[in-house]
Structure 1
């Protein structure tokens, strides 16, 4: 996959690339709604003999447009998103740097410089896509241009609901521990990748050694609590079952401590410090809480482990957790 990083003012001229069908959007999460846009793009590209492309933005527009609610953590950080797109067979990825100057562009200038200027033959977008200064450009204004055609994708609904699948809703569900809703919207198991690092090693002293995982990117983490998870050792592909605590470990720390990710793996006693791993969240078990001493903590962890083993009993370790 060729990646083109575009800025404003744009000093990259893409006159030598082939024409493409291009899906446009921020695509954080690459959830089922995003996938419907990208799948339609792929279908059109194959039908017309065009390159398959995605146009996205970095950072999230809220960093510029809504500082009180800016998103600096992501369901799929940029590098993760690019890896997923490459695996989907995308030929080109246009990454536009979203800055104050870019946000102030006249809608027509954006189209001329970045859509037509990127040799886009067909543009595929969600029904609510907007662009240009104050979002004054939309699907209807895109249809005014003769240089390319536009394909609009209707909203993708949550299972059992008419509500639109959205990254905002996924983030809300992660904040509430609604992991099954998150995984349904994503069409895969929510995951976070990172490295196993040295921790406080307190778990091993109470019979529950844990892998302390430092995430590689700025992920939006699930709410503090205990979860049934699987963990993949990325270098060897081994998938393991476990119980995970996300949070500050209030029995030992106050709330000012940075949240950590710790996974106790079932029937596993190898040292995996420095290993690249991916944690897959399957089920929320309970909120994090402060215990009155080690015995009470151990008793609860034992219950959590039993619960996680039951919840994961149908999860196959021979198939990807995606």
Structure 2
């Protein structure tokens, strides 16, 4: 299991559970294909040197420290999911460094001395555009060998390795795609379906009366739900993976001004699962939310949505 350590600047080397290691740096929100390229390069270095692989990441999101951001800020991968994904890539331990004003103001030479060397980095790997320390100085990967002074190896993973279709994979672009409902683009950039999690809670039970019973999911506000619409999904629930279709919306056919809810109609499933923790894989966008003229029109559309969802599963 991947070890997780929360650390704060200034680091206390007497309390740090560290030993010589290879260190990959980055925020890694989404652990998308670009991030995976960095981790794979770091893993190659770790194997070559016979050392464990560690990741140095940050909390909170760096943008919140450097400028005003809309709140709440929503992650593609909350920390627990991020650590699990990094573990699957061979990461032995993750250091979560509290990004504060004092840390962000460090000259890059001091960042090397007071962070990287205290973590006993023998090789440091990051994307070519990764920044560290005080940003108005040359705190980039191009200058890191100068600050390292041959005390550790430096590898900057170049843009070509972080790109698909000649475009650099970026977490912000994935967030924009999700906000517009483009879960297919998100899946392409992540190398897997976007996933959210939550608990099954009570809803209005209206779906059951329509012949399309749903589970209602309460999702933590820190997670990035796709935009309003209807989607093909699969749900990890009670040790099973169940196919279904999901609606993110305000249920405008029956009432205006409702809060956004997540309702999922599971195929070939009819059990009471209130309180269960579930993971939802967002596979494909079907359509936007529509205010239908009544229940009959909604039912006819739901039948079409189900057919289209089953066709998706058959093709994929």
Fold similarity call, TM over 0.5: yes
Q: Return 128-137 or 203-212, whichever deviates more.
A: 128-137
Give, in whole Å, the separation in 1 of the partners of 2:16 and 2:151. 15
- Separation (CA, whole Å) in 1 of partners of 2:135 and 2:302: 51
Report deviation, 1:286. 0.5
CA distance in 2, matches of 1:118, 1:154: 24
Indicate the larger mover: 98-107 or 11-20.
11-20
Any unmatched runs of 5+ in structure 2?
none
Tell me the residue number matched to 1:264.
265
Unaligned ranges ≥5, structure 1: 316-322
Matched-pair contact (CA < 8 Å) for 2:37–2:162: no
Kept in 2: contact 1:77–1:217 (CA 8 A): no
Paired with 1:29 and 1:253, the residues of 2 have a C-alpha distance of: 35
**1:70–1:127 Cα change, 3 Å:** farther
Following superposition of structure 1 onto structure 2, how do residues 59-78 of structure 1 map, counting pairs within 5 Å? Answer: 59-69=60-70, 72-78=73-79
Equivalences for residues 222-237 of structure 1 within 5 A: 222-233=226-237, 235-236=238-239
The aligned counterpart of 1:141 is: 143
CA deviation profile, 1:272-301 (whole Å, cap 9, x unmatched): 111121111111000112222222222211
Aligned CA distance change for structure 1 residues 113 and 217 (closer, same or farther; 3 Å) = farther
CA deviations on 1:212-260 (whole Å, 9 max, x unpaired) are 1112562111111000111111x42x111111001222223445x4422
SS of residue in 1 equivalent to 2:142:
helix
Structure 2 SS opposite 1:63 = helix
Match of 2:280 in 1: 279
Alignment match, 1:319: none
- Report how many residues are paired: 311
The answer as to whether partners of 2:40 and 2:89 remain within 8 angstroms in 1 is no
Taking the aligned partners of 1:19 and 1:186, their CA distance within structure 2 comes to: 31
Task: Report if the CA contact (8 A) 1:14-1:119 is conserved.
Answer: no
C-alpha contact (below 8 Å) 2:128/2:142 kept by paired residues? no
The CA RMSD measured in Å over matched residues stands at: 1.9
**Residue of structure 2 in register with 1:201 after alignment:** 205
Q: Give 1:215's aligned residue.
A: 219
Q: Show the counterpart of 1:85.
A: 86
Could you tell me the TM-score, scaled by structure 1's length? 0.91
Decide which of 176, 182, 186 is 1:178's aligned counterpart: 182
SS in 1 for 2:168: coil
Identify which of 147, 150, 172 aligns with 1:168.
172
Q: Does 1:188 align with 2:192?
A: yes
Asked if the contact 1:62–1:69 (Cα under 8 Å) also holds between the matched residues in 2, the reply is no
User: Using the alignment, how far apart are the partners of 2:184 and 2:228 within structure 1?
Assistant: 16
Question: C-alpha distance in 1, partners of 2:71/2:154?
Answer: 30
The residue number in structure 1 matching 2:154 is: 150
Question: Distance in 2 between the 1:10 and 1:74 partners?
Answer: 26
CA 1:12/1:259 → structure 2, altered by over 3 Å: closer, same or farther? farther
